[in-house]
Each structure stands twice: as C-alpha cells, then as structure tokens.
Amino acid sequence: MAYVAIADRDHEIEHHAPTTFITKYIWSQDHKVIAIQYAVTALFVGLVALILSGMMRLQLGFPNSFSFITPIDYYQFITMHGMIMVIFLLTALFLGGFGNYLIPLMIGSRDMVFPYMNMLSYWVYLVSVIVLLTSFFVPGGPTGAGWTLYPPQAILPGTPGTDWGIVLMLGSLALFIVAFTMGGLNYVTTILQARTRGMTMMRLPLSLWGIFMATILGLLAFPALFVSAVMMTLDKAAGTSFFMPAVMSMGENLSHEGGSPILFQHLFWFFGHPEVYIVALPAFGLVSDLLSTHARKNIFGYRMMVWAILAIGGLSFIVWAHHMYVSGMNPYFGFFFATTTLIIAVPTAIKVYNWVLTLWQGNIRLTVPMLFAIGFIFTFTHGGLTGIFLGNVVVDLPLSDTYFVVAHFHMVMGVSPIMVVFGSIYHWYPKITGKMFNQTLGKVHFWITFLGTYAIYLPMHYLGFLGVPRRYFAMGDTEFMPESAFTLNQSITISALIVGAAQLIFLYNIIVSLKKGKDAGPNPWQATTLEWQTPDTPPKHGNWGPELPVVHRWAYDYSVPGYHDDFIPQNVPADATPATSEHGSDT
C-alpha cells in the first residue's frame, strides 16, 4: 500500500501555532526554538570547558605558580575539558543545534516528523549536562580518568573522583545517548521522509548530507559507548569484572579478576572514531555551503562530495584501533587498521581539493563566515596531514602520548569544527534573529582566533617531536627537554589566554547585535538554499506560510550566465531561467 508523502498532504493537516509563552519558548516543540535551546546550552557548557583549558594552560606555562591548581584538579580539568568539548559541545551543537534548525528549513518541511520527541531530546540533553556539571560539586569532585576513561585506572582509588565523579560521568553519558537517539531518529527520518516536492536527495545542500550521515554514525556508534558505560558502572558499583583484571591496589589484592581492559578500549574507540566524524561530517557539509555561497560559485563536484561523505562514514567504522597501537594488541591488527586509516584519507582529500576548486576563480566575498570557512581549510588540511603521521604504526609509536597527538587532534577535530561553528553561526545569524551582526568585530574575532590557533598548536608539534608527554601536570627537570620547551610552553599559554578572551568578542557581538544590529532582510548573503526563501525572517511557526515551497533545481546555482542575479534560489521554476545550468534539471 503506497503511502502518501507529507508534501502532498500538507493541505489536509491543521497547524496549531503555540500561543502561550511557555509553549512558545520553553516547552516548545518548534524545531527552531529547540535548535536555539540546544545551541545556547552547548555554548554555555563549552564556555565552562574553555575556562578549564585556560586553567590547564596556566599550570603548564607557569608551573608552581598557582597554588589553586593541584595535580588532582589538573586531571579533572583535562577529563572534563575533553568530554565536554567533544560530546556536550560539538556533537550537541552540530546535530542538536544546526541539525534541528536547518533540516526542516532546508528540505522545505514545516517541522521535524516527531516534534514532541524532539522536545524531549533537548530536555534529556539538558539533564545530562546538569548531571555532568553536578560532579564539580560532589565529594571528591569530577572524575580525573582522562576523557577516554580507560579502566582499570578510571574506577580505582588514586584516580580523582572515583567515588562520585565517574558514576556521574557515566550516567551523564548514558542520558546524553538517550537524548541523542531521540533527536537523531528524528533527523534521519525527517531528511528521508519529509522533503518537499522536487527536493530529491541529490538536490540536498551538502550541509544536510553531512548532518544526515553524522546522525547515522551516531545512531550506530553511540550504542558501543552506552554498553561500555553500563558495564563500567557495574564494575564500579556492583563489583563485577568486565573490564577489571586481577589488580593490586595500594598493596592489596582487589576482588576483581579475569576482566579485559582492552575490551573497553575496543568498545570505546568503536564509538570514539565514528565520533570524530560525527563532529567532522556536519562541519564538512556546512563549510561546503559557506564556501559556495560566499564564492558565488557552485560547489565543485557535488556528487563526489556526497559520495565522499558516505565513504568516510562507512570507513569510519573500520579504523577505530588506530587509537590503540600502543595498547598491546596484535601488531598485524595494527597493520589492517593503518591501511584503512590511510584509505580514509582519499575521500577526505577529495573533499579538500573540491573546496579549493570551488574557490578557484570564484567571485570571493571576504565576509566573516567566508573567513572562517577559508580558515577551516587551512586548519583541517594541517591537522589531516599530521593524521597521516599518526596513522602509521611505526611513526605513531614514538609520537604516541606526546604533544604531537594533542596538536593533531586539536587542529583536526577541535579547531577545525569550531571554525565551522563560528562561520555557520555568523552565516545563519541573520536568518535566526533577523539582525545583522557587527562585521568588524567578527573579523577581529576571526583573525585573533585563527592566528592564535597557530600560535598555540604549531609549537606543540615541536614539543611532541622532543617527546614531551601529554597529560603531565608538570615536567620538572628532565634532560631531554631543552630550555626552549619551557619558554614555548609559556608562549602557548599566553596565546591560549588571548584566544580564550577573544571569544568574549564573539559573545558580545551576537548578544548586542540582537538589539542593536541592523535589520538583515530575508537573504543578506544572496544564497540559493530554501531556508533563505522563507516568507518571514526569522521564520514563523510552520516556516512556510500557507504553501510549501516547490524545488526546481539543485542548491548551487550561483553565477549562472544569462540570469539577472548571480544566484537562482532553489524554488525558482525551471522555465524562468536560462537553460544553461546543467544541474538545474538534474535528478
């Protein structure tokens, strides 16, 4: 029995806009409000993690100067900084924030398919954040096991926060996974099943392809984290031995016996590596749209970009053990994972070339979003190249657990996605608020952040080659560390504090512009995608007024010869334009 698509039933459905303050702004089921709730919560908790990183840098740059940072604090800061940034900021912001906002608008739908579940998703996410932050205030403080939470140390006395912190961390992760699943099922189903007339999969803006694939990765990868969280909680609370081998702790034999710590590492990285792409793929997608729009050129190789996203998503499930070369697993296993890791560089490189070719001979407008998008190409290429070092077993072994690794992953999945986050917030800010932000402040924010990034992370590569180990509270007097390593550490700290403080410019800009910004108009960037063609700015409940839009072309008709504008929105009928666009009638 064929099922009639929503786009063809739109007239039969009654739409009820919420009327009270609470249903409009708090218990809201509107995807746009939920998106903003997600984004604000994620940015807030990200700010906490940023402050933590500042504290760590203070200690590393100027050891023995700050009595309020003890070794225990330091480990707790490391752990919370990593976990918050990866999961509670980036995952939540890209999928809960941008995913929620952009999916229904870009596909021409009125909302997510299950708005009520979408609302629950946010509130469970909020609870998970609160549980996580609660651990700062319990006896013993948050866990200091490192964001990878490796057993046995994660739950043994001696590691900070083994009483309460670790349990709250695991509980918070489990809640986050529940929240993500409720949201993620919505995103996937909405993209597949609720597109408007004419919106084929191959006409989706790349933003949505990135978010779509990332959500699928999340739905398949988070189960491994969920399972390991359950088992570690049992190991901690019920005395089971899933991950715990026979251990002597403080001179006593513990009751654990026969468990497998390596099992945890496999489960964790079966989640952890796709997680890298859960963060990276939405960034890839969003940055493609930013580059194309502000270079006034169609994205180079759209189909290849889509296939690259799918290939990266598939491959990301068979590379996880490259995080475990030094875990003691079989070296032949490492050979397999080194190979797959290098293969994944192929689709990734295709994407980078296509971004650069999109810029080539484009009519580049150096707006604030464009600056961040170009900055992303630099930082991502840089971090990707060091990834090739670390993907090879023999090169990885000496570099393992040094600052080279810290530099690599901060460039590739810290700074690069954050560049896209800033670029995308600036890009869609006029649509979300109806106001334009202050361009000058935005550019100042970009240059400090971009140059500061290199001031922070370039020296870390050198520290890594020297063999300076990561996660150490203080280096003390060691022979292999020259004086320059210590002065570099000071300079890194000063740069980090400046970059951290510069984020206040961003906050100031987006908050003050809410009131004082000029009216942006419906389509300030002259973009083609559907979200810029809404009847109201910001879009009202239901997004489209009485009629759903109809899509007649792909998302990248920029600078089509013979048309009076240098962009043709997706909902402009085919016969209103010159037939020069090869992709206009492409399915």
Partner 1 sequence: MSEAVMTDTGDVLPGGAKGIVADFAADKQAFAVPWGKAMMWFFLLSDTFIFGCFLTSYMTVRMSARDAWPVPSEVFALSFGGEPIPLILIAIMTFILISSSGTMAMAVNMGYRGERNKAFWLMMATAAFGVMFVSMQAFEWTKLIVDDGVRLWSNPMGAAQFGATFFMITGFHGLHVSAGVIFLIVIGRRVKSGFYDRTRGNYEMVEITGLYWHFVDLVWVFIFAFFYLW
Where on the chain is the footprint of partner 1 (CB under 8 A)? 2-3, 5-8, 113-114, 181, 185-186, 188-189, 192-203, 219-224, 226-228, 230-231, 234, 238-242, 246, 255, 257-260, 263, 267, 270, 550-552, 574, 585, 587
Q: Output 230 or 388, the one with its CB closest to partner 1.
A: 230
Q: What does the alpha-carbon distance between residue 352 and residue 306 come to, in Å, rounded to a whole number?
A: 13
Q: How many CB atoms lie within 10 A of CB 562?
A: 9
Contacts of 163 (CB under 8 A, 6+ apart): 138, 139, 140
- Please check whether residue 455 is in contact with residue 407, taking contact to mean a CB–CB distance below 8 angstroms: no
Q: Output 294 or 552, the one with its CB closest to partner 1.
A: 552
Q: What does the alpha-carbon distance between residue 232 and residue 242 come to, in Å, rounded to a whole number?
A: 7
Contacts of 194 (CB under 8 A, 6+ apart): 5, 6, 7, 104, 107, 109, 112, 113
Question: Which residues share a beta bridge with 19?
Answer: none
Structure tokens of 555? 């998302």
* Smallest gap from residue 493 Cβ to partner 1 (A): 40
* Smallest gap from residue 549 Cβ to partner 1 (A): 11
* Smallest gap from residue 384 Cβ to partner 1 (A): 28
Q: Output 307 or 389, the one with its CB closest to partner 1.
A: 307
* Smallest gap from residue 410 Cβ to partner 1 (A): 29
* Smallest gap from residue 167 Cβ to partner 1 (A): 16
Q: Output 479 or 582, the one with its CB closest to partner 1.
A: 582
Which amino acid, 344?
I
Q: Output 157 or 258, the one with its CB closest to partner 1.
A: 258
Q: What does the alpha-carbon distance between residue 221 and residue 554 come to, in Å, rounded to a whole number?
A: 31
**What is the 8-class DSSP label of residue 519?**
B
* Smallest gap from residue 308 Cβ to partner 1 (A): 17
Helix (H, G, I), strand (E, B) or coil at 413: helix
Q: What angle do CA 166, 72, 145 make, to 5 degrees?
A: 35
Residue 344: is it exposed, middle or buried by C-beta count within 10 angstroms (0-12/13-18/19+)? buried
Q: Output 1 or 394, the one with its CB closest to partner 1.
A: 1
The CA radius of gyration of the chain, in Å to the nearest whole number, is 24
* Smallest gap from residue 522 Cβ to partner 1 (A): 24
* Smallest gap from residue 184 Cβ to partner 1 (A): 8
Q: Output 7 or 69, the one with its CB closest to partner 1.
A: 7
Q: Output 242 or 558, the one with its CB closest to partner 1.
A: 242
* Smallest gap from residue 573 Cβ to partner 1 (A): 8
Q: How many CB atoms lie within 10 A of CB 64?
A: 8
Q: What does the alpha-carbon distance between residue 418 and residue 177 come to, in Å, rounded to a whole number?
A: 22
Q: In angstroms, what CA-CA distances link 559 with 528, 534, 576?
A: 11, 22, 15
* Smallest gap from residue 125 Cβ to partner 1 (A): 17
Question: Which residues share a beta bridge with 249?
Answer: 252
* Smallest gap from residue 171 Cβ to partner 1 (A): 16
* Smallest gap from residue 426 Cβ to partner 1 (A): 31
Q: Output 267 or 276, the one with its CB closest to partner 1.
A: 267
Residue 79: is it exposed, middle or buried by C-beta count within 10 angstroms (0-12/13-18/19+)? buried
Structure tokens of 424? 């995308």
Q: What does the alpha-carbon distance between residue 212 and residue 273 come to, in Å, rounded to a whole number?
A: 17
Q: Output 239 or 535, the one with its CB closest to partner 1.
A: 239
Taking alpha carbons only, the member of 148, 298, 137, 138 closest to residue 225 is: 148
* Smallest gap from residue 240 Cβ to partner 1 (A): 4
Q: What does the alpha-carbon distance between residue 189 and residue 207 come to, in Å, rounded to a whole number?
A: 16
Q: Output 199 or 421, the one with its CB closest to partner 1.
A: 199
Q: Output 3 or 68, the one with its CB closest to partner 1.
A: 3
Contacts of 174 (CB under 8 A, 6+ apart): 226, 229, 230
Q: What does the alpha-carbon distance between residue 179 and residue 561 come to, in Å, rounded to a whole number?
A: 47
* Smallest gap from residue 454 Cβ to partner 1 (A): 39
Q: Output 184 or 387, the one with its CB closest to partner 1.
A: 184
Q: Output 259 or 384, the one with its CB closest to partner 1.
A: 259
Taking alpha carbons only, the member of 302, 431, 282, 443 closest to residue 369 is: 443
Annotate 312-343 with DSSP letters as a single string.
Answer: HHHHGGG-GGGG-TTTT--HHHHHHHHHHHHH
Question: How many helices and strands (H and E) does the chain possess?
Answer: 17, 2
* Smallest gap from residue 218 Cβ to partner 1 (A): 9
Which amino acid, 340?
T
Q: Which residue has the tokens 């690599």?
A: 408
Phi, psi of 404 (to 5 degrees): -60, -40
Q: Output 436 or 550, the one with its CB closest to partner 1.
A: 550
